[in-house]
Amino acid sequence: MAVFKQAKFFWSSIVISLVLFAVVQILITGGMLNLFYVNTLVFIAINIMLAVSLHLIIGITGQFSIGHAGFLAVGAYASGIITMKLEMPFISALIIGGIVAAIAGFIIGFPSLRLKGDYLAIATLGFGEIVRILFLNLDYVGGASGMQVNHLTTWPWVFGCMLVAILVIVNFTNSTHGRACISIREDETAADAMGINTTYYKVTAFVIGAFFAGVAGGLYAHNFYIIQPSNFGFLKSFDILIFVVLGGLGSLSGSVIAAILLTVISTFLQDYPETRMIIYSLVLIVVMLYRPQGLMGTKEITSVFSRGQKLKGGKKDGKGQTVA
């Protein structure tokens, strides 16, 4: 019974999400949601995947990476090659896209995670740009003109992948490994002194984050009819970063909420790209000036319901702001 009680919350949230999924699916098959709304929902789910995968790297492990679009690009192109050139099924494309992105994450993460703070940020930014330039120069995937991809992404696929991503990352965070990652975020030197293999955990978090970004890339690629290197510039990385920062560094539900909010806002501002970017940047500046911990801080939305088991926040400075 105790096991069931502990897992009660877990199972009830899965049931709730499956009900949500079923409702949306019924609406779609019933033709009550038009293509625009379905597309927005698919976008929201992809962005949630990206946000939670970056949340694992920045929010949990405290490694400031701003090249996440690079992994998205790797996953998108890898899965595109699988379905279009090798003509294998979509599921294998998603998995292989994720694995290739994870390998890229390992190759990048292993040397660059020795760097800290600003330097790591710039190194990952540079990596993202290198990936973009690489695809720009590869004729096999169409270079600058891009690569034709079939439209295969549907709501069940997106929702399934998103659910798996969230479950894996939540469970990782609450496991021994996740605790180790949080301790690295709090104080790397102290974590090292306590016998935590910091390099191992940093690279692990990076690889898991890259994997889900790669899967999201597969979904992203097959949601359009064409993918181009210009879709994966560092503005895309900033978009993902904004989800995580706005939601609150260290709060998974915060990044999910921010991803939903910002995707909806930017969908409605699609026809006014300049206005959208101005609003984005103003929101970013104002939030950083007046609420640097983001919408949720390090709290989770679930802690509103269960007061007893609050998640402890990060190291605070004098003003109650989380120090990263």
Partner 1 sequence: MELIQQLVNGISLGSIYALIALGYTMVYGIVKLINFAHGDVFMVGSFVGFYSITVLHLPFLVSLILSMAACAVFGVLIERIAYKPLRNATRIAALITAIGVSLLIEYGFIYVRGAQPEAYPGDVLPEHAIQIFGAKINSQSLLILGVSVALMIILQFIVHKTKIGKAMRAVSFDAEAARLMGINVDRTISATFAIGSALAGAAGVVFGVYYIKIEPLMGVIPGLKAFVAAVLGGIGIIPGAMVGGLLLGVIESLVSAFGYSLWRDGAAFIVLILILIFLPSGLFGKYKREKV
Residue ranges that bind partner 1, judged by CB under 8 A: 64, 111-112, 114-115, 117-119, 121-123, 125-127, 129-130, 133-134, 136-137, 189, 238, 241, 245, 249, 274-275, 277-278, 280-282, 284-285, 288-289, 292, 317, 321-324
Judge whether 161 and 216 are in contact, CB under 8 Å.
yes
Selection from 244, 14, 220 nearest residue 98 by Cα: 220
Structure-block tokens of residue 125 = 């930014």
Which of 203, 194, 159, 191 has its CA nearest to residue 21? 159
**Considering the complex, what minimum distance in angstroms separates the CB of residue 323 from partner 1?**
6
Report the residue number, 91 or 323, with the smaller CB distance to partner 1.
Answer: 323
Q: How far is the CB of 33 from partner 1 (least distance, A)?
A: 32
Count the alpha carbons within 13 Å of 96 in the hemisphere toward its beta carbon: 14
Task: Retrieve residue 75's tokens.
Answer: 């996953």
Task: Name the residue nearer to partner 1 (CB basis): 6 or 189.
Answer: 189
Q: Report the distance separating Cα 283 and Cα 243, nearest Å.
A: 11
Q: What is the end-to-end Cα distance of the chain in Å, rounded?
A: 39
CB of residue 123 to partner 1, shortest distance in Å: 5
Q: CB-wise, 92 or 129, nearer to partner 1?
A: 129
CB 217 within 8 A of CB 97: yes
Closer to partner 1 by Cβ: residue 101 or 108: 108
Residue 127: CB minimum distance to partner 1, A: 7
Q: Which is nearer to partner 1, 166 or 196 (CB)?
A: 196
Secondary structure string (H, E, C) spanning 84-137: HHCCCCHHHHHHHHHHHHHHHHHHHHHHHCCCCHHHHHHHHHHHHHHHHHHHHH
Closest contact distance (angstroms) between CB of 118 and partner 1 is 5
From the list 62, 85, 98, the residue with the least C-alpha distance to 208 is 98
Closest distance to partner 1 from the beta carbon of 126 (Å): 4
CB of 280 to partner 1, least distance (A): 7
How far apart are the C-alpha atoms of 89 and 270, rounded to whole Å?
A: 32
253 touches 304 (CB < 8 A): no
Q: Which is nearer to partner 1, 115 or 311 (CB)?
A: 115
The smaller minimum CB distance to partner 1, of residues 69 and 123, is found at 123
Nearer Cβ to partner 1 (135/220): 135
Q: What is the dihedral of CA 312, 247, 284, 293, to 10 degrees?
A: -10
Question: Which residue's structure tokens are 């920062």?
Answer: 245
At 289, which amino acid appears? L
Supply the minimum distance, in Å, between the C-beta of residue 136 and partner 1: 7
Could you tell me if 109 and 123 are in contact, meaning their C-beta atoms sit under 8 angstroms apart?
A: no
Nearer to partner 1, 84 or 283 (CB): 283
CB of 272 to partner 1, least distance (A): 9
